[in-house]
Chain A
Amino acid sequence: MEFREVMQEKYKEILESYMKDQNEQALYLSQKFSRKSIEHKISPEEIISLHKTALLDLGIEFSEAMLPSFDILLEVMMAYGLAYREHQNLRTIQQELKSEIEVAANMQQTLLGTQVPDVDCLDIGAISVPARQMSGDYYHFVQDEQGAVSVAIADVIGKGIPAALCMSMIKYSMDSLPEGQYEPSQVLESLNRVVEQNVDPTMFITMFYGMYNTVNHTFYYSSAGHEPGFFYDHKTKDFKELYAKGLLLGVSKKTKYRQFEKKVEVGDIILLMSDGVTECRTEEGFIEVDTLKGYIQKYIHLEAQEIADKVYKELEFLQGFQLRDDFTLIILKRIK
């Protein structure tokens, strides 16, 4: 028997049984039938036609005059049928897109992957959580032969897929910098030229680039419009802003970046972040910088990675577990 004939028979059975004694079982079977119909893409108007045929087949007594009314019902349901089919098509397309984006997001993870360097004198922690599937935030570690650890933290303005593609471009530029050329101001100047030339004029990048010299324990840094980081002074138990002003990458070709430096003692901590951290919004308004410092202070005795994870958990909780912006926090703690 053809599938439709089976459906026809089944429908007739259910209808007959219900017409006889209005039993619950028939109602239950109808629900099952309805799910099965949807599964097999049977449209609403086909169901009406089924109903009409079943009534005639069963020879149930009803006024002949009623019969043409089903034609009207059928016509009326036609548009619903079309809408339903369109919905089905869109669902398929949506599924396809979703899986493609998943592939892209995984690819981004792989492409942009970075290894947290392992150095004796530093305890390093990093966390980066995207607000949507693909992140506009990015961080990258580079360790050179002299033992210097460089860290870049960036935010592509403009979110989603275009931002992610742009990030990949930046990462490749960073990886292809000549060996030994990790002076923060130079790195930013050279990346600025890349972004200025290649990127759509409405897309921009903020970046903070720092280099920790493990010999003289000095942190050299420059910023291209990025949120300033914090410096935690272990002796005074005080936070200072790692202020470094500089123009966003990609706005003007000739931009020069100023380089700053900070001597780091044992116990001191460098905190770098994206604006998703400081521009973190809650129901009641913004999180003030002091609130953020409070959280950091609360966990400051822990290991770097734990501090990052715990601060993220607190901010996530404050925002009702719904991030509005990508979130990235990097912590460098001098341990000896």
Chain B
Amino acid sequence: MIRIVNLSKSYGEKKVYDAFSLDIEQGKVLCILGESGCGKTTLLNVIAGLTDYSGEVPALRTSYVFSTPRLVPNLTVRGNLALVGADRGEAERLLALVGLEGFGDRYPSQLSDGQAQRVALCRAFLFPSDIMLLDEPFSSLDLKVKLAVMQVFFRLRESRPFTALAVTHDVDEALYLADRIVVLSDGKICGDFKNSPCGTFGADSPLRGQIMSLLLV
């Protein structure tokens, strides 16, 4: 179990978190839902050590999938994966799994948005981390590409379970991917749901209505 205890974080006068606590079960995908500005990305940045805070947050090795791929433009796909210490054989295997076989020598500028985001997912997956952080990783993609990349994520977690904390404001994404869904509002948990990740987009889940009612308050 990864425990975040009494996390407090402010940006100037604005308090984002005040004595916030959260347990993250290992080997599961936890999805955080909430409106823009409720502190979702801040939570990821705190865990990744990208911002200062007060409270107890374990020092973890993190892999991070940002909302944009953030691939190093001067390195090929293979170079980007090698940069985080990925073994070449494992990298090739994973590229094949995400449908990018033969793309190893391409530069990021030669990839489409969806392909680049799939490489970013591979990079996060190949980095030996304690937790994978995902910051609205599908938000910049059109629906068709988004579904393809989400399928890749689903396939990856089936091939090797990992601990992940994803933030999104899309209920369908959360229902698709997560084992547990937490709804945040003003830096506090206002809903906590167990979910069976369905791997289908727009599924008619009984949780959907409950989550939507919390988000629309």
Binding partners A and B: no
